[in-house]
Amino acid sequence: MEQQIESYTTSKKENAIVSFNLRIKNCEKCRLSTSRTHVLMGEGNLDARFMLIALSPGEKEDAENRMFIGPSGNMLDKLLKASGMDRKSIYMTNLIKCMLPKNRRPKMDEIESCSPFLDEEIAIIHSEWIVPLGYYATRYVLTKYHTDPPPARTDFINIYGKPIIANNQKIVPLPHPASLLYNPSFESETMKKYKKLQIFSDDCKWFPLCPMKWYYEAGHLERKWIELYCRGDWESCVRYEMEEQGHDHPDWMLPDGSLDVGLKKM
């Protein structure tokens, strides 16, 4: 169910979420309703810039009816702290609202039954960034926004931490915190990816004076450059790096370092 509620105030979001939660808490659309304790609701800041989407609740989350309170929750807190953030600044939810028995993989019909709820929740929260955690959430979100996911599960590691804009929605897939419980050697690299959230929290400091801003506002530059770099991963912008180093660069150089001769004529 898609809803357009960009103009919702916080109070309207609160009312919408309360109504939404009441509607789904007794869901019996799939087999998971027979083994769960709770339909786990999303939680956090309704006006959050980042909406984190995990796969499903674990046993402890199902028992206590709260998001990320088990071992993966401790790891999430550690990753958020490393990125200068905390739970109060984000909104968290799941693709599948009920516990998967013995942490098994989800079945396709379970995803199909539950994903309309996530679609509605995404529309209510309407965050600037959607942050799917791990393979299943990332595959669903990319497909929802008509962006082809990587062909193989092992290829998903290559897109974690990289911003994507699709159908005017900014997305940054990240590894699920639980992955570090099984592969702690990846902790340093995973922290680097989570620190992107801190980068995405503020526009590039050079943006107000950047020629990219003028080109965009004059209608000569695609929005993706602004959203993915100036208001996104500005740390990876070649222009930013050159400004920091005091190196000259042409005004018509794009954030990825390529030159747009068409802009030179403007």
188 and 79 share a domain? yes
Query: What is the number of domains present in the chain?
Result: 2
Residue, of 10 and 252, whose pLDDT is higher: 252
**Residue 7's pLDDT is what?**
52
pLDDT per residue as tens digits for the range 48-82? 999 999 999 999 999 999 999 989 999 999 999 99
Query: What is the pLDDT, as a whole number, of residue 2?
Result: 41
Say whether pLDDT at 6 is over 70: no
State whether 157 and 241 are in the same domain: no
In this predicted structure, what is the pLDDT of residue 1? 39
Cβ atoms 131, 172 nearer than 8 A: yes
pTM: 0.92
Q: Which residue has the higher pLDDT, 10 or 29?
A: 29
> Across all residues in the chain, what is the average pLDDT?
93
Q: What is the pLDDT of residues 147-160, one digit of tens each?
A: 999 999 999 999 99
pLDDT (tens digit, 9 = 90+) per residue, 75-109?
Answer: 999 999 999 999 999 999 999 999 999 889 999 99
Residue 25 belongs to a domain: yes
Q: What is the mean pLDDT of residues 208-213?
A: 96
Q: Indicate if 37 and 136 belong to the same structural domain.
A: yes
Q: Are residues 124 and 211 in the same domain?
A: no
Q: Which pLDDT belongs to residue 9?
A: 75
124 and 220 in a single domain? The answer is: no
> Given a cut of 70, is residue 3 above it in pLDDT?
no
> In terms of residue numbers, what domain contains 234?
207-264
- Does residue 180 share a domain with residue 73? yes
Are residues 145 and 45 located together in one domain of the fold? Answer: yes
Claim to verify: residue 147 and residue 195 sit in the same structural domain = yes
pLDDT of res. 68: 95
Mean pLDDT of the 13-18 span: 95
CATH at residue 55: 3.40.470.10
- Taking a C-beta distance cutoff of 8 angstroms, is the pair 90, 45 a contact? yes
Contacts of 140 (CB under 8 A, 6+ apart): 95, 111, 115, 118, 132
State the pLDDT at residue 264. 86
Task: Beginning with the edge strand found earlier in the chain, give each strand of the sheet holding 50-54 in spatial order.
Answer: 43-44, 90-94, 50-54, 129-132, 169-171, 164-166
Does residue 157 share a domain with residue 94? yes
Token digits for 33? Answer: 């309703």
**Domain-located, residue 5:** no
Q: Which of 185, 200, 215 is at the close of a domain?
A: 200
Residues 151 and 236 in one domain: no
Question: pLDDT tens-digit profile of 111-132?
Answer: 999 999 999 999 999 999 999 9
Does 44 score more than 80 pLDDT? yes
Q: At which of 151, 170, 200 does a domain end?
A: 200
Does a structural domain hold residue 3? no
Do the domain assignments include residue 225? yes
What is the model's pLDDT at position 207? 96
- Examine the fold and report which residue of 146, 166, 200 is the final residue of a domain before the chain moves on: 200
pLDDT band of residue 146 (cuts 50, 70, 90) is very high
Residues 152, 242 within the same domain: no
Q: Are 141 and 236 part of one and the same domain? A: no
Domain membership flag for residue 4: no
